[in-house]
Amino acid sequence: MDKVLLVIPAYNEEKNIGKVVDHLVRDFPELDYVVVNDGSRDNTARICRENGYNLLDLPVNLGLAGCFQAGMKYAYQKGYRYAIQFDGDGQHRPEFIGSMKEKMEQGFDIVIGSRFISGKKGWSMRMVGSRLIAAVIRLTTGARITDPTSGMRLFDRKMIEEFALNLNYGPEPDTVSFLIKQGARVAEVPVTIDERLEGESYLKPLTAVSYMTRMLLSILLIQNFRKR
């Protein structure tokens, strides 16, 4: 199937999931999607069922890695050629998926939607952290990535299979780094990523610092011992 499947991890997104999916169904019928409810404690699953959304309803919370891998298993089993990680909180814009797919068709395995590829300057914690991770990815792989922390990533069939059939493939920068070492070809296209529609991001300052530290250590050390 040449259609792009949007894998939408959703944990406690009752305030946002309806707006996100309705926008897709109404304005982007050429795109397929699956909402992966990650054991939400709120009404996320009920809203999806009542509106007839395409839903994978996980009975327990697996975290982003397990949740996303469930979506990639679905993409693999259904025969999709392309799958994209797509936020359920309204941050990602579907209008950029077309240009990401066009880039992938030039011979890439992963295409990242970058907030910084245009050379945007700034010193927010998010940008500084992203630049640090980009620096260690370049140091360890030689690849230049401007926005490794972007959650908007498009994967080809080969990468779908990697995520679906192997363990410990979380959708994080350290996995991208590992896949580059395994020969994956990565490109970026410029995108705009919005603030979440409603609710609070789990990446609060202390959590963000912990996340960045974990990614840096993983890329610099742990990935050297990782096996497929």
In tens, the pLDDT along 84-112 reads: 999 999 999 999 999 999 999 999 999 99
Lowest-pLDDT range of 49-58, 76-85, 192-201: 192-201
**Are the C-beta atoms of residues 101 and 80 closer than 8 Å to each other?**
no
CA distances from 16 to 51, 68, 175 (A): 14, 18, 28
> Region 114-128: what's the mean pLDDT?
70
Q: Mean of the pLDDT values across residues 11-32?
A: 97
Alpha carbon of 46 to those of 18, 19, 39, 43, 50: distances in Å? 11, 15, 12, 5, 6
Distance CA 88, CA 5 (A): 14
The pTM score is: 0.91
- 4-225, CATH topology level: Spore Coat Polysaccharide Biosynthesis Protein SpsA; Chain A (3.90.550)
- 7 touches 34 (CB < 8 A): yes
185 CB-contact burial (10 Å; exposed 0-12 / middle 13-18 / buried 19+): middle
- What's residue 207's pLDDT? 77
What number is the average pLDDT over the span 3-13?
96
Look at residue 180 and tell me whether its pLDDT is greater than 70. yes
- Owner of token pair 């109404």: 26
